Structure 1
């Protein structure tokens, strides 16, 4: 009998190198690009202040909901289902209609097409509604209904306090930004939150040339390993046959335009590029 843990479920690097998408013939580069784009959709869908033709005030989600959704995520339908489920988990539930409106707008904007409101009794609306419900159930099934996601934001703030860095003009904001950007990678399903929190503090401190204590090593106080922290900033992606989806890789590779969004578009894209 398996035991339920309060720690996040972590994938092995071997599992990440043999994902279902990869087994279906989707190249690694396309998989990574779609992951990043899908997470950007999730973030944009709940971003405060975004304008989505009247739906923005109803779809503004707290950051914790968007952050919870992105480790669940795959793309489009699963992305909508992940945000719908995460909003429930974080007790900030949203209406399916508002979620569909926002995603419909995001897809049209990405494809540079003229905006046309959805008909609430049209086939497209009902297809998207059904896909959200199915995606939510698929996520719950695959996760065994264990939807607990511990996020590193609170830990990072506590660690900054211990290191006396909360009053620094740049480091807290920079580290917080790294946490948000890391949601677009595999990091949140590769490492536990203490390691992630230490890694973003390490990166921010290096950027602003702030020396952190090494006697004793500061990361050891927070149950992190130096080799894991250093792994976050290394390039290229592969290192000792481990695919980490590093934070710094996000800033080195530009997301290609006109990515395929539907299953049929992905199949066509693969056939034309082979």
Structure 2
């Protein structure tokens, strides 16, 4: 995660956030960081997790209890993990079928964003650890 963060920050240091999608670029930075840190993952696994997080956030935003808590800043600090667990109790995510076009659309977006990261950073992918 830290490597992906460094890549993302370096990329947006030299590029405008108006010119590139933050979502696509962040996914590409995370995918690229797994290649750099000797823990490569399959692109479909990354997309599946990313879609699940998007659906969970949409579910939480659509929840009436969550909207009330966010609107009232004084009560926001009183929200416990139990409240969030209650809101997520009826959340269910089913990944799209393997032949769905969303996989190809997202794959293409990540490949383009990955190439932009590499190009804008001059293929300098060294991230110091320590």
Q: TM-score range by the shorter chain?
A: 0.5 to 0.7
Report what 1:86 is aligned to: 33
- Residue among 30, 39, 49 paired with 1:102: 49
> Given that residues 96 and 129 in structure 1 are in contact (C-alpha distance below 8 angstroms), is that contact kept between their aligned partners in structure 2?
yes
What SS does the aligned partner of 2:103 have?
Answer: helix
> Given that residues 119 and 125 in structure 1 are in contact (C-alpha distance below 8 angstroms), is that contact kept between their aligned partners in structure 2?
no
List runs of 5+ in structure 2 lacking aligned partners. 13-21, 63-91
Q: Greater helix percent: which structure?
A: 2
RMSD between superposed Cα atoms in Å: 1.6
Using structure 1 for the length normalisation, give the TM-score: 0.30
Instruction: Count how many residue pairs are aligned between Structure 1 and Structure 2.
Output: 87
- Name the larger-Rg structure: 1
List runs of 5+ in structure 1 lacking aligned partners. 1-65, 155-274
What SS does the aligned partner of 2:47 have?
Answer: helix
User: Structure 1 stretches (4+) deviating beyond 3 angstroms?
Assistant: none
Q: Does 1:70 align with 2:5?
A: yes
How far does the alpha carbon of each residue in 1:5-37 deviate from its partner, in whole angstroms, 9 at most, with x for none?
Answer: xxxxxxxxxxxxxxxxxxxxxxxxxxxxxxxxx
1:128 shift after superposition: 0.8
What SS does the aligned partner of 1:76 have?
Answer: helix
Higher relative contact order (CA 8 A, sep 6+): 2
Report what 1:142 is aligned to: 120
> How far apart, in 1, do the equivalents of 2:94 and 2:103 lie?
12
1:146 shift after superposition: 0.3
